[in-house]
Amino acid sequence: MSYCDSCVVRNRAICAALDDDEIQALNGIGRRKMLQAGDPLIWEGDDSMLVANVIDGILKLTNSTEDGREQIVGVVYPADFIGRPFGAKSNHSVTALTDAKVCLFARSDFDRFAAEHPSLEHKLLKRTLDELDRTRSWMLLLARKSAEEKVATFLLDMSKRLVDATCEAPQDGPLDEFELPFSRQQIGDILGVTIETVSRQMTRMKRDGILDLPTRRTVKIVDRAALEMIAG
Amino acid sequence: MSYCDSCVVRNRAICAALDDDEIQALNGIGRRKMLQAGDPLIWEGDDSMLVANVIDGILKLTNSTEDGREQIVGVVYPADFIGRPFGAKSNHSVTALTDAKVCLFARSDFDRFAAEHPSLEHKLLKRTLDELDRTRSWMLLLARKSAEEKVATFLLDMSKRLVDATCEAPQDGPLDEFELPFSRQQIGDILGVTIETVSRQMTRMKRDGILDLPTRRTVKIVDRAALEMIAG
DNA sequence: CGCCGATTTGATCGTGGTCAACAATAGTGG
DNA sequence: CCACTATTGTTGACCACGATCAAATCGGCG
């Protein structure tokens, strides 16, 4: 009997590469951990001792300058992988944005296990390549897009990414209404703008009939075509 | 007899994971290709049919908006890997910045070969994880740093990255004088600023005695400490 | 209801973009 | 080797977007 048998991400996380015996072995070196919103998991610059799979919740990866400017460089969702195997240093901090549950491994244990299970490394490689592509696309947004384009692109991205996180029933298209898992400050930290700019852009889109904002965290996309036009 | 026997990156590229027999097999599915500065290798949005190892030269990876704004999302040097194995689409264009030599594979051939050679995938995974870390660190620069900080950070990065590309004799520390492999336009495309801004920052640093700029492409770091201070 | 943090709104300012002219260098042909 | 041109880089004037500072308002929670 192992935790993994009932794991909700058993078939989506990199664990999907493993058969039952292998899962059993992996289970032996991992442990579950609950995090509350705001809890840090890894600190930038620390020795990288941990890796993890996200079971539930959303976490952010951040880089900071010495004088305190922060940039969110990645957001991880259930089934995503966290941490830096085969490396000595963590280059970014990991912090829970919502209450979260992760499956935690000592890096050295994981490294050893991975080296013996090529199919696991293969899945991790595919995942890492995908993440690299996504990250590179985001660079174009950070460096070249206007505040308006950034916010529009962000909202469209959310409406796609939150599909399976939001509802039990599988849904194919993007969501037209969803709860933001981020505060305005965090949206600013993702887009590289200030909270005031995020706020102004969103209220302007509401005024223009593109969005509806029933509550602070709820977004309803009224005119998706217009939003896509703005996103560029 | 294979090309690989005399390959200058044989021991630094992912090929280093392979023994002589395996190299022989890989050699069978690859071919060499020369590129001139400016030649495209892969187009953004194309079906991803190619992957490659860089043997010599420098290439850029770019993303563009529909209206023509371009962002360089990565720069690859000798021994680096190019392309998107196990995926359908290329998310960015690849173009030679200098004359270059690459070792080219059909993606499907490479995918098959990689699946049979876990040690190759392991090297590729480590490389991809490193590249992801580097890319994420660059996001902080793009999103949060001032033009002055961007240029300073860029020059310091160059002085490290160009060490083994520049001179035959191995040198440990960063270079204090080097040739930029980029035009002002390309530097702007890397940093997410305009050519005028790059130019102004560099001439200001020259005026302040931090740099010397003997020719357009030559940079001499006179006061490294000051440059590091500015880079933040 | 009253408090506190999050968000919105407003006024002002500065960095870096834009547009334009000019300078310097590389490239080409006589 | 020099004249001519094309390309690349520099400099200046001006402007706009988004940052900053400040105040008002909203919303959650005891």
Residues 6+ apart with CB under 8 A from B37: B96, B97, B98, B99, B100
Distance of residue A1 Cα from the nearest chain B Cα, in angstroms: 30
A76: its two tokens:
């991880």
Domains in chain A and their CATH numbers? 4-135 (2.60.120.10), 145-231 (1.10.10.10)
The C-alpha R_g of chain A, in whole angstroms, comes to 19
Q: Which residue of A has its CA nearest to B67?
A: A232
A129 and B CB contact within 8 Å? yes
B226: its two tokens:
């000051």
What b/e readout covers B56-84, taking b as 16+ CB neighbours within 10 angstroms?
A: bbbbbbbbbeeeeebbbbbbbbbbbbbbb
H or E segment to which residue A32 belongs: strand A30-35
> Which residues is B60 bridged to in the sheet?
B75, B95
B80 and A CB contact within 8 Å? no
pTM of this prediction exceeds 0.85: yes
Separation in Å, CA B9 to CA A82, B80, B100:
31, 9, 13
* pLDDT tens digit sequence for A2-40: 678 888 999 899 999 999 999 999 999 999 999 999 999
* pLDDT tens digit sequence for B16-44: 999 999 999 998 999 999 999 999 999 88
* pLDDT tens digit sequence for A166-217: 555 566 778 899 999 999 999 999 999 999 999 999 999 999 999 999 999 9
A168 and B CB contact within 8 Å? no
Inter-residue contact B211 to B155 (CB < 8 Å)? yes
A115: its two tokens:
């080296």
Inter-residue contact B90 to B45 (CB < 8 Å)? yes
Separation in Å, CA B85 to CA A86, A122, B111, B115, B135:
21, 11, 6, 11, 19
Which chain A positions have a beta carbon within 8 Å of B46's beta carbon?
none
Cβ separation A115–B137 shorter than 8 A: no
H or E segment to which residue B114 belongs: helix B107-115
Residue nearest to nucleotide C16 (CA to C1'): B197
Distance of residue A74 Cα from the nearest chain B Cα, in angstroms: 8
Cβ separation B139–A63 shorter than 8 A: yes
A124: its two tokens:
């991790």
Cβ separation A132–B137 shorter than 8 A: no
B133 and A CB contact within 8 Å? yes
Residue nearest to nucleotide C7 (CA to C1'): A199
CB-closest option in A133, A135, A192 to B84: A133
* pLDDT tens digit sequence for A90-133: 889 999 999 999 999 999 999 999 999 999 999 999 999 999 99
> Which nucleotide across the nucleic acid strands is nearest to A215, CA versus C1'?
D27
Residues 6+ apart with CB under 8 A from B75: B58, B59, B60, B61, B97, B190
SS3 label, residue A181: coil
